[in-house]
Amino acid sequence: MEVRKYRSLVFDSTRWEGFAFRPDDIVITTPPKCGTTWTQMICALLVFQTPDLDRSLDLISPWLDMLTRDLESVRADLDAQTHRRFIKTHTPYDGLPHDPDVTYICVGRDPRDVFRSWDHHAENMDVMAVIVAREKAVGLDDVLDLLAQGPPPRAEHEIDRFWNWVDDTTPPTESMNLRQTLHHLQTFWDIRQQPNVVMVHYDDLQRDLEGEMCRLAARLGIDVREDLWPELVEAASFENMRAHADVIAPDTTHAIWNDNRSFFNRGCTGQWRDLLDESDLDRYHRRVAELGTPDLIAWAHQGATPVR
């Protein structure tokens, strides 16, 4: 299968080219705002079996594709790790190297909640801080034309921003929108029966965090002492992650958030209910039906993760 290239101002999937996997590596691969940091924290707790991390989560589990750090230093950090590695990416399966000995964890979420989280995320991000970090790490020569155009206009009303996100036809290789979210999930849904692919849903984490952590530990072949579970589950709670946002939120070293705690905004399911009425939902579901298979669409909106 041809490997697709995913690229934006912030990330470049070609940074995976030539990456040397270890047989027990874990790749956490999610569409943005689907529970990436939550899953990284859970993996950290399972791997280290303590909530006391010796450095920030984004250094333990780097986003390999992100352009705010030079690739050489990111790979050097990963090469130096002696524990089981777990690496973040927002690249779908068709843009990643495939290794049967690597475990791929794909995380999904109701796309309507993804939008609301993304909309807040965009407001909380200091774009100039991202650009400054990118310039220092990899330069800006490849995006000067894009920067000269400035950011796309942001609609005044949230409902208009929602429809812009839903109806955007930009290819998933170039933009974060509904199309990209469902495309990412579909690439893993289609191979979910493979023994090294694990599907996790945000709603299931909310409904039964301990159960999902136990399921993930079993899929990763990690044994956890029974007496450790209460402390680990508490450390993976939304409230705890928000309280420790300075070391758990991504890329805080470059101060890319206006408020680190606000990165963990609401963390709940059904945020869309006070935004969309019945006619909106009819329109939304017509659009969704164009973008994914019925079984994937049902899972993305409801969770209830399969046993595998």
DSSP output for 210-243: HHHHHHHHHHHT----GGGHHHHHHHTSHHHHHH
- For residue 256, the SS3 value is coil
pLDDT at 290: 97
**How far is it, in rounded angstroms, from Cα 211 to Cα 233?**
10
Sign of the C-alpha dihedral computed for residues 56, 60, 61 and 67 taken in this order: positive
Q: What one-letter code names the amino acid at 116? A: R
- State the catalytic residues: 90
- For residue 198, the SS3 value is strand
**How far is it, in rounded angstroms, from Cα 91 to Cα 180?**
10
- Cβ-contact 269, 202 below 8 angstroms: yes
Per-residue pLDDT tens, the chain, 308 aa: give them: 688 999 988 899 999 999 999 999 999 999 999 999 999 999 999 999 999 998 999 999 999 999 999 999 999 999 999 999 999 999 999 999 999 999 999 999 999 999 988 887 677 777 888 888 889 989 988 877 666 555 567 888 899 999 999 999 999 998 889 999 999 999 999 999 999 999 999 999 999 999 999 999 999 999 999 999 999 999 999 888 888 878 887 777 777 676 666 666 666 788 899 999 999 999 999 999 999 999 999 999 986 544 33
**Domains with residue ranges and CATH for the chain:** 13-302 (3.40.50.300)
Q: CB under 8 Å, gap of 24 or more: what pairs does 228-237 form?
A: 228/49, 231/51, 232/45, 232/46, 232/49, 232/51, 233/209, 234/51, 235/41, 235/45, 235/51, 236/38, 236/41, 236/42, 236/45, 236/209, 237/209
pTM, entire model:
0.92
- Cβ-contact 224, 49 below 8 angstroms: yes
- Cβ-contact 5, 173 below 8 angstroms: yes
Beta-strand relationship, 86-89 and 26-29? parallel
Q: How far is the CA of 120 from the CAs of 114, 239, 281, in angstroms? A: 10, 18, 21
- Kindly report the length of the chain: 308
pLDDT at 130: 84
**How far is it, in rounded angstroms, from Cα 288 to Cα 112?**
11
pLDDT at 308: 33
